[in-house]
Amino acid sequence: MDRIRIRGGRPLNGAIRIGGAKNAALPLMAASLLTDETLALGNLPHVADIATMGELLVQLGVGVSMNGAGDGAPLANGGNEGRVLGLTAEALANRTAPYDLVRKMRASVLVLGPLLARAGRARVSLPGGCAIGPRPVDIHLRALEQLGAEIDLRDGYIEASAPNGLHGAQIAFPSVSVGATENLMMAASLAVGETTLTNAAREPEIQDLGKCLSAMGARIEGIGTDTIRVAGVARLRGAEHQVLPDRIETGTYAVAAAITGGDVELVETEMGLIEAVAEKLHDAGVEMTPTARGVRVRRAGNRVSGIDLVTEPYPGYPTDMQAQMMALMAIAEGASLITETIFENRFMHVPELSRMGANITVHGGSAMVRGVPVLTGAPVMATDLRASVSLLLAGLAARDETVVNRVYHLDRGYERVEEKLAACGADIERIRG
């Protein structure tokens, strides 16, 4: 298993290119199941979760093609080699998402809605427990039942069928779920009649999916609000779509600049995607300014100040940026109260940050972080993507050497993280094996 070794204490300076959003690309890839024509997705990130979704789609019978094998370098024609994925679900060979893939990546459940809508049947492994809490899929299933799906849970699988097709319905989600909103938008696009989704998620990734579905011929209104109306159509067509920039990658590198006291321009991204994070960083004393290409992040001199935050559905502060901000608050002047409301058990980074000298106490869903002047390097590991990257960020600021183990968690969602940081002056390397 690969590890990453960091010798901390060097301010980052330079530019970092932000890739396409993993969490937008995953539902967009699943949307290819809705049509027999080709869906071409540009600005695709090269991360392990995308490869896993590709593998799942291939098993379902989707033809997959990539525009060359490059790593995303710009081409003379304005494209990026290796970043445009063509997905063609001409005929579906299979309707099962097997346990070994769903276990690796919970977002595999996003094929459920499209398969049901297009093929009338789907068999998707239940995701089971995961490192950040139980994460059930009950909201997805109840809503699909309201569209007329029959659902049984058997042998660890969701067995879903729509013997009479899917029919529009009024669906009020009991709580905000990104994945359930996406699954239902896709299923309702091919249902007979109109569906209304209330208490829908509003994340930029949902908006990106809505934009792509509209380009495929879906009739969707209210994208980006908590009430989405979908008028079903008989068929959808192929489309070309550029995946929006990854706001969590943007926020993560913003914290990297801040935690090292650096000056970094994040390019091919937008300030508007990370307003809630930018606001907190600004309160902490980090300078963030929009540029022609993206966002400049700078912290000169003084320590950041402690700030309080509560994770919430978009447009609130994102749970996927909670661990990274905690790493920054670990070296802030003063105390910070960080409250997690989206997931249970999303503080696995706390004991590891504590091993690096952070002073953090957890009470239920809140963590009290009392800033210390300096962290000390240590061998650390984490059990999920964002927790892992928070340890890496802490390592960038820490005295001496930090080794982050189990880098495969990072590789699920961050493309060439060590290369991007090294190019800005970090002393960081991947140790293979």
Q: How far is the CB of 344 from ligand UD1 (least distance, A)?
A: 7
Q: Which of 157, 343, 347, 414 binds ligand UD1 (CB under 6 A)?
A: 343
| Residue 135 is a binding residue for ligand UD1 (CB under 6 A) | yes
Which CB sits closer to ligand UD1, 248 or 330?
Answer: 248
Q: How far is the CB of 433 from ligand UD1 (least distance, A)?
A: 29
Give the span between the Cα atoms of 125 and 103, in whole angstroms: 8
- Residue 264: beta bridge partners? 14, 297
Are residues 297 and 286 in contact, defined by beta-carbon separation less than 8 angstroms? yes
* Element at 284 (helix H, strand E): helix 275-284
Q: How far is the CB of 148 from ligand UD1 (least distance, A)?
A: 18
Give, as ranges, the residues between 18 and 37 that touch ligand UD1 (CB under 6 A): 23, 26
| Dmax (CA) of the chain | 66
Q: What angle do CA 352, 320, 258 make, to 5 degrees?
A: 70
DSSP states along 301-322: SSPPBP--EEB-STTSB-GGGH
| Residue 136 is a binding residue for ligand UD1 (CB under 6 A) | yes
Joined together, the tokens standing for residue 394 give: 């802490």
Q: What angle do CA 23, 381, 248 make, to 5 degrees?
A: 25
| Residue 320 is a binding residue for ligand UD1 (CB under 6 A) | yes
Give, as ranges, the residues between 104 and 123 that touch ligand UD1 (CB under 6 A): 106-107
Which CB sits closer to ligand UD1, 26 or 243?
Answer: 26
Choose, from 40, 75, 92, 130, the residue flagged as catalytic: 130
Give the span between the Cα atoms of 341 and 275, in whole angstroms: 19
By beta-carbon distance, which residue lies closest to ligand UD1? Answer: 179
User: How does DSSP classify residue 92?
Assistant: -
| Residue 4 is a binding residue for ligand UD1 (CB under 6 A) | no
Instruction: Answer yes or no: 130 catalytic.
Output: yes
Q: What single-letter amino acid sits at 287?
A: E
User: How does DSSP classify residue 226?
Assistant: S
Q: Which of 12, 16, 122, 180 binds ligand UD1 (CB under 6 A)?
A: 180
Which segment (78-86, 173-181, 278-286, 363-371) binds ligand UD1 by CB under 6 A? Answer: 173-181
Give the span between the Cα atoms of 238 and 214, in whole angstroms: 11
Q: Which of 25, 34, 137, 407 binds ligand UD1 (CB under 6 A)?
A: 137
Q: How far is the CB of 420 from ligand UD1 (least distance, A)?
A: 20
Which CB sits closer to ligand UD1, 108 or 402?
Answer: 108
Closest CA to 330 of 365, 302, 354, 301: 354
| Residue 148 is a binding residue for ligand UD1 (CB under 6 A) | no
Are residues 234 and 32 in contact, defined by beta-carbon separation less than 8 angstroms? no
Which CB sits closer to ligand UD1, 50 or 297?
Answer: 50
Are residues 373 and 303 in contact, defined by beta-carbon separation less than 8 angstroms? yes
Q: Which of 123, 140, 296, 406 binds ligand UD1 (CB under 6 A)?
A: 140
Closest CA to 89 of 125, 39, 160: 39
What is the size of the binding site for ligand UD1 (CB under 6 A)? 21
| Residue 177 is a binding residue for ligand UD1 (CB under 6 A) | yes
Residues with catalytic annotation?
130
Please report, as ranges, the residues that interact with ligand UD1 according to CB under 6 A: 23, 26, 106-107, 133, 135-140, 175, 177-180, 205, 319-320, 342-343
